[in-house]
Structure 1
Amino acid sequence: MGLREKIRKYLYTWKFKNKKILNPNYSGKNIFITGANSGIGLELTKKFLNLNNKVFVTYRNNSENLDKINSKNLTLIKCDQKNLSEIENIKKEITNIPINLLINSAGIFGPPEQKLETLNFNDFQDTLMVNSLSGLKITQLILNVAKKNALEMIVNISSDAGSMSKNNQGNAYIYRTSKSALNSITKNMSVDLFDKYNITVFAIDPGNVKSGMNPGGMIETSVCADLIINLITFHGKELNGKFVDLLNKEIPW
């Protein structure tokens, strides 16, 4: 790593290093988290369980990390979110259950090559399904089959790569489009659901988080999860219809 890269990394991580992690009083809730077998979803699952919540999670294939948690308050739901019929099966686990918080954290980057000239549209379809449409479908299921009037908040884990205003690099067609679609869904739901049911909906850019999808990330998933919980707990309804980073700075759509 060169000197310039070291300085860039230091400056990026410094703003999170001294950020006070509050001790939220967020307990006794039923929380649904997608894509919880690794990364941000896994960390959020652990932290919400430690706060004495019941957590329902989806995972695609490997539940090894979730199995290690061994909590009676954790419900595992095997679901490949590329597959609509598997998403439909979620309703068996949530019918008449009061889901209070939905966090759509399932996400994939798609193929490494995403230039216009070589786009693979099967990969495009899969990535759109996981990153945007599956979250919309799960929201629909919760509204239709879970206990009525229980849902309080929906948090969509997005990316600033989905910001059309900030896009000055191009490429990454599949990933950018999938996150832009998620942002559009977020904004739309924030209008419909807040007015009808008083449900808060917002999107978060977690930044350069270290994960399986981004092994060179600069923020540990544990820090990221703490800051997401802070946003949920201490800012709540003021975030409806917004796209923010971990420090509650608004990002242009």
Structure 2
Amino acid sequence: MARTVLITGCNRGLGLEFAYQYARDGWHVHACARDLVHAEALQALEARFPEQINLHTLDVNKDGQIKALDRVLDNISIDLLINNAGYYGPKGVAFGTLERELWRQVLETNTLSPLMLTQALYPRIAASELKTIAFLSSKVGSITDNTAGGGYYYRSSKTALNQVVRSLSIDLSGAGVKVVALHPGWAQTDMGGSNALITPEESVTALRSLLNGLTQEQSGDFINYDGSTLPW
């Protein structure tokens, strides 16, 4: 029986690569994007794998769209939820030029929204076989690793996300649900830039291998794409 994955932020980058690899390997893929009309690459992927991929419009910051997605899914269980959608915010923002509303937007997308989506879809995850929830975090959210400063908006949103993952891993352990924070590496995406060290294919291939072998003991961990555990 084919397994089911739901992925946010599939219009490009890692989300698109996740959708491709899981569809290629026979999974049922529910691929979400904020604007499907302009997600040409994702539409092309659906045309290539029409039996495997279902597209959904989802702005993770809108509770109404989260509820609508839950209704559309009907009685489907979700083996793996990948909270991939993220927002870096304006780059080059230094202390002295910070703005409350811009910070709020980054926190909304990177921390609040993945938790709210997980809360809405949790019964589907708990009813599945794999019972796995992955949050795409970032090494820059590690307090121990921060030796460069700056990056206030994005760093803090990922640090907070890591705390969410830790709490969820404890709260959901009784149901056998595994929850993990993943650093995808410095990948060649719109956010990572062309000078990044690895391709989206390399990143996603490694992350999928990690998720495939994830144990209950690793639930709540902050894990690098190469399998090493990262410091909080």
Length-normalised TM-score, structure 1: 0.84
Partner of 2:95: 116
Residue 235 of structure 1 and its aligned partner are, at CA, apart by 3.2
Residue 131 of structure 1 and its aligned partner are, at CA, apart by 1.1
Partner of 1:14: none
Partner of 1:59: 33
Partner of 1:185: 164
Contact 1:31/1:53 (<8 A) preserved: yes
Instruction: Choose 1 or 2 for highest CA Rg.
Output: 1
Q: Structure 1 residues 100-109 or 78-87, which shifts more?
A: 78-87
Alignment of 1:33-112 (within 5 A): 33-61=7-35, 62-69=38-45, 70=47, 71-112=50-91
Partner of 2:3: 29
Distance in 2 between residues matched to 1:86 and 1:117, nearest whole Å: 36
Aligned in 2, Cα 1:147/1:201: closer, same or farther, shift over 3 Å?
Answer: closer
Distance in 1 between residues matched to 2:93 and 2:8, nearest whole Å: 25
Contact 1:95/1:147 (<8 A) preserved: no
Partner of 2:127: 149
The residue type equivalent to 1:28 in the other structure is: A
Partner of 2:114: 135
Aligned-residue RMSD, C-alpha:
1.6
Residue number among 190, 193, 199 corresponding to 1:212 in the alignment: 190
Corresponding pairs, count: 225
Residue 179 of structure 1 and its aligned partner are, at CA, apart by 0.5
SS class of match (1:90): helix
Distance in 1 between residues matched to 2:113 and 2:13, nearest whole Å: 18
**1:248 corresponds to 2:223:** no
Residue 148 of structure 1 and its aligned partner are, at CA, apart by 5.3
Partner of 2:210: 231
Where structure 1 has 5 or more consecutive residues not aligned to the other structure, the ranges are 1-26
- Which whole-Å deviations, capped at 9, do the CAs of 1:221-244 have from their partners, x for residues lacking one? 001110011001123334211111
Tell me the percent identity: 29
Distance in 2 between residues matched to 1:237 and 1:99, nearest whole Å: 18
Contact 2:141/2:159 (<8 A) preserved: yes
Q: Structure 1 residues 174-183 or 79-88, which shifts more?
A: 79-88
Aligned in 2, Cα 1:162/1:148: closer, same or farther, shift over 3 Å?
Answer: closer
Alignment of 1:191-202 (within 5 A): 191-194=170-173, 196-202=174-180
Length-normalised TM-score, structure 2: 0.91
Partner of 1:11: none
